């Protein structure tokens, strides 16, 4: 059951349409990522859900409460929707405890205990008296999350919350925020243009393009069964090759491959993911040559040039854990069903 439902939301600025009928469903307690390129309308969607912008059309519902719709616009402070802004934006003159307690009524009973609970949730117990300037970027971001959770919002919105963090810190803060959100039971929407962040952090991903959600599903669904070639390209690494479907088989220069799902016969493009390209002994596969290797530590991306039947050269990419020097000759086999459009 969805807790947050966005239906057909439109928004124009000076007659320029920015949101063009957005649908979004976020189940209760889930963390959803809204993923899309810069300028597709992600922040505007977040601002409409928070109530900072009025939608031109459509509805926003949380539970059975209509927050925005024809003739209705609930004020932001009455929505029980909290926002974690891009760089945390802590009050520099308030301590960590002062920041977290900011959204709580002064007379709130158990105020100190609530602050302590929240700091424990984000792994910062004992930091009550520190000032924001004495915290790392990741710690600041976690305090910002605790502050947003303090008034017990029903929905929490995070706008590119990790973009200011350096790459090393980002993965660990992401994991901390994800587990704190799950522990809090909050329903959350995270906006990002980083596909790896969306796939690794969220329970559901909504891919946005030109003011619309073009596909929504679990990270696995989005990666394995993209709705169109642009989603395939945007989410994960992909090699796109011309392909013809006949009787449920995808015919490509790399050979005949099984089709993922069903499709009528026709001419189009197939999507190959790097993990579908397997290195085998030279005699057991198509001959290929290593063009370059990009090393990431846990594995490496290898660019290959495959010599296909008819002497056609086809660039593909695979992942390996071993070292492959440039110009090395290898064999390649393509496995698994491929998506075709």
Positions that interact with ligand ATP (CB under 6 A) = 13, 18, 36, 38-44, 193
Residue 36: CB minimum distance to ligand ATP, A: 6
17 vs 123 by CB, closer to ligand ATP: 17
149 vs 189 by CB, closer to ligand ATP: 189
44 vs 252 by CB, closer to ligand ATP: 44
Cα 326 vs. chain centroid, distance in angstroms?
A: 33
194 vs 305 by CB, closer to ligand ATP: 194
Q: How far is CA 330 from each of CA 265, 306, 319, rounded to the nearest angstrom? A: 33, 9, 13
Tokens in use for 184? 């809090």
36 vs 274 by CB, closer to ligand ATP: 36
- Helices 167-184 and 137-149 cross at an angle (nearest 10°) of 20
18 vs 122 by CB, closer to ligand ATP: 18
Residue 3: CB minimum distance to ligand ATP, A: 23
Residue 57: CB minimum distance to ligand ATP, A: 16
Residue 309: CB minimum distance to ligand ATP, A: 44
């Amino acid at each position: 059951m969805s807790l947050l439902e966005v239906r057909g939301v439109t928004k124009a600025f000076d007659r320029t349409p920015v949101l063009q009928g957005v649908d979004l469903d976020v189940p209760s307690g889930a963390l959803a990522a809204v993923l899309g390129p810069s300028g597709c309308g992600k922040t505007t969607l977040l601002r409409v859900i928070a109530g900072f912008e009025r939608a031109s059309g459509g509805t926003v519902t949380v539970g059975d409460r209509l927050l925005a719709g024809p003739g209705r616009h609930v004020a932001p402070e009455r929505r029980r929707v909290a926002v974690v802004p891009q760089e945390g934006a802590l009050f520099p003159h308030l301590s960590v405890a002062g920041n977290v307690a900011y959204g709580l009524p002064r007379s709130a009973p158990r105020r100190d205990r609530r602050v302590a609970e929240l700091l424990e949730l984000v792994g910062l117990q004992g930091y009550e008296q520190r000032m924001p300037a004495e915290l790392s970027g990741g710690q600041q971001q976690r305090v910002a999350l605790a502050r947003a959770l303090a008034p017990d919002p029903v929905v929490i919105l995070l706008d590119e919350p990790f973009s200011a963090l350096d790459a090393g810190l980002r993965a660990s803060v992401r994991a901390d925020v994800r587990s704190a959100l799950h522990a809090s039971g909050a329903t959350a929407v995270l906006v990002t243009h980083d596909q790896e962040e969306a796939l690794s952090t969220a329970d559901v991903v909504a891919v946005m393009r030109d003011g619309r959600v073009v596909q929504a599903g679990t990270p696995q669904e989005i990666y394995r069964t993209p709705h169109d070639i642009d989603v395939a390209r945007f989410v994960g690494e992909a090699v796109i090759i011309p392909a013809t479907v006949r009787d449920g088989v995808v015919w490509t220069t790399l050979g005949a491959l099984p089709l993922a799902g069903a499709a009528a016969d026709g001419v189009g493009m197939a999507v190959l993911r790097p993990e579908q390209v397997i290195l085998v002994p030279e005699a057991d596969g198509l001959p290929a040559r290593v063009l370059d290797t990009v090393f990431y530590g846990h594995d490496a991306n290898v660019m290959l040039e495959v010599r296909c039947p008819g002497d056609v050269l086809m660039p593909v990419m695979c992942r390996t854990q071993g070292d492959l020097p440039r110009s090395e000759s290898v064999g390649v086999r393509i496995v698994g069903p491929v998506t075709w459009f």
